[in-house]
């Protein structure tokens, strides 16, 4: 089976500092990949290249074997991104935020309202659609960010520290939604997080980064491994 997304020998420097060094990674449809590493290892830079915020110095990004490394319009149509910070407007309602971004993305323009409703149902926000974003809970705000990233029906979803600051019950609720979105098996999801317990519990693959490289990829559904121990050994 050909990968849905493949990164080959990606390099990125800022001035004299090499941030990514010959980094390679592949994802199949249905994968939920946990991306972990210490601060400064290059995770954020990798994610920003994958969503088109940065360009790589060299290397390739392939989507279904097609080179999209410099095709930023293709990248933006393929990838959905949930950032660490809220990306919606506090003074708009949940529905108004979704409608604004749907129009911005030109997402399913003919059936936009129903498309928005469907996504709000999928992330359990439909009942809050008429509430101002500033008045919804922290867990709802994370789900609204996630909902916005789904509007253009991306095949690759990137979630950057999506559960930071949420209590354990809200964390489980958020992950249940992510797993439901992933269930059809037509997407690949990358989750960057420092919460190793979450990553091991919910991701089927784990990539450990160090010094701008992928040190190892673990099939996390294998039994009996200690992710915390492996992480500490590989990143010391």
CATH of the domain at 74: 3.40.50.300
Q: Is 198 part of a structural domain of the chain?
A: yes
Q: Is 123 part of a structural domain of the chain?
A: no
**Mean of the per-residue pLDDT values for the chain?**
93
For residue 2, the model assigns a pLDDT of 86
Which one-letter DSSP state was computed for residue 127? G
pLDDT at residue 224 tops 80: no
Torsion from C-alpha of 210, 31, 140, 131, nearest 10 degrees: 130
Count of domains forming the chain: 1
Residue 108 pLDDT level (bands cut at 50, 70, 90): low
User: What is the average pLDDT across 69-85?
Assistant: 92
Torsion from C-alpha of 103, 176, 166, 76, nearest 10 degrees: -30
* pLDDT 10s digits, 15-34: 999 999 999 999 999 999 99
How far apart are the C-alpha atoms of 188 and 180, rounded to whole Å?
Answer: 13
Min mean pLDDT across 26-30, 122-126, 167-171, 218-222 is at 218-222
For residue 153, the model assigns a pLDDT of 92
For residue 128, the model assigns a pLDDT of 97
Q: What is the pTM of this model?
A: 0.92
Q: Is 73 part of a structural domain of the chain?
A: yes
For residue 188, the model assigns a pLDDT of 97
For residue 220, the model assigns a pLDDT of 72
Pairing of strands 188-192, 32-36: parallel
Asked if 227 contacts 218 with a C-beta cutoff of 8 angstroms, the reply is yes
* Helices marked H in the chain: 43-50, 72-78, 94-105, 112-122, 138-149, 168-182, 196-202, 227-235
Q: Is 230 part of a structural domain of the chain?
A: yes
Q: Is 37 part of a structural domain of the chain?
A: yes
**What residues contact residue 93 under an 8 Å CB cut-off, 6+ apart?**
129, 130, 131, 132, 133
Question: Domain range holding 60?
Answer: 5-89+155-235
For residue 236, the model assigns a pLDDT of 85
Asked if 170 contacts 124 with a C-beta cutoff of 8 angstroms, the reply is no
User: What is the average pLDDT across 85-110?
Assistant: 87
Q: Is 101 part of a structural domain of the chain?
A: no
More confident residue, 224 or 234: 234
For residue 222, the model assigns a pLDDT of 61
For residue 148, the model assigns a pLDDT of 95
pLDDT at residue 159 tops 90: yes
> Two tokens at 184?
């059809």
Q: Residue 234's CB: how many other CB atoms inside 10 A? A: 14
Angle at the Cα of 139 (from 51 to 188), degrees rounded to 5? 35
Min mean pLDDT across 9-13, 83-87, 170-174 is at 83-87
Q: Is 228 part of a structural domain of the chain?
A: yes
Q: Is 139 part of a structural domain of the chain?
A: no
């Amino acid at each position: 089976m050909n990968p849905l997304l493949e990164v080959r020998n990606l390099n990125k420097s800022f001035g004299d500092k090499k941030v990514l060094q010959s980094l390679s990674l592949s994802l199949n449809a249905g994968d939920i990949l946990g991306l972990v590493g210490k601060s400064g290892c290059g995770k954020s830079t990798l994610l920003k290249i994958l969503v088109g915020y940065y360009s790589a110095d060299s290397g390739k990004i392939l989507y279904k074997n097609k080179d999209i490394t410099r095709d930023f319009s293709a990248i933006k149509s393929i990838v959905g991104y949930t950032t660490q910070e809220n990306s919606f407007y506090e003074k708009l309602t949940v529905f108004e935020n979704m409608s604004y971004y749907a129009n911005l993305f030109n997402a399913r323009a003919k059936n936009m309202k129903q498309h928005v409703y469907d996504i709000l149902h999928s992330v359990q926000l439909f009942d809050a659609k008429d509430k101002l974003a500033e008045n919804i809970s922290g867990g709802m705000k994370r789900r609204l960010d996630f909902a916005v990233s789904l509007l253009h029906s991306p095949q690759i979803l990137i979630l950057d520290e999506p559960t930071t600051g949420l209590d354990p019950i809200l964390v489980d609720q958020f992950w249940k939604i992510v797993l439901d979105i992933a269930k059809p098996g037509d997407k690949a999801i990358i989750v960057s997080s420092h919460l190793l317990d979450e990553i091991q519990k919910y991701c089927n693959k784990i990539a450990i980064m160090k010094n701008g490289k992928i040190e190892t990829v673990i099939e996390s559904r294998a039994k009996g491994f200690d992710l915390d121990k492996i992480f500490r050994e590989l990143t010391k």
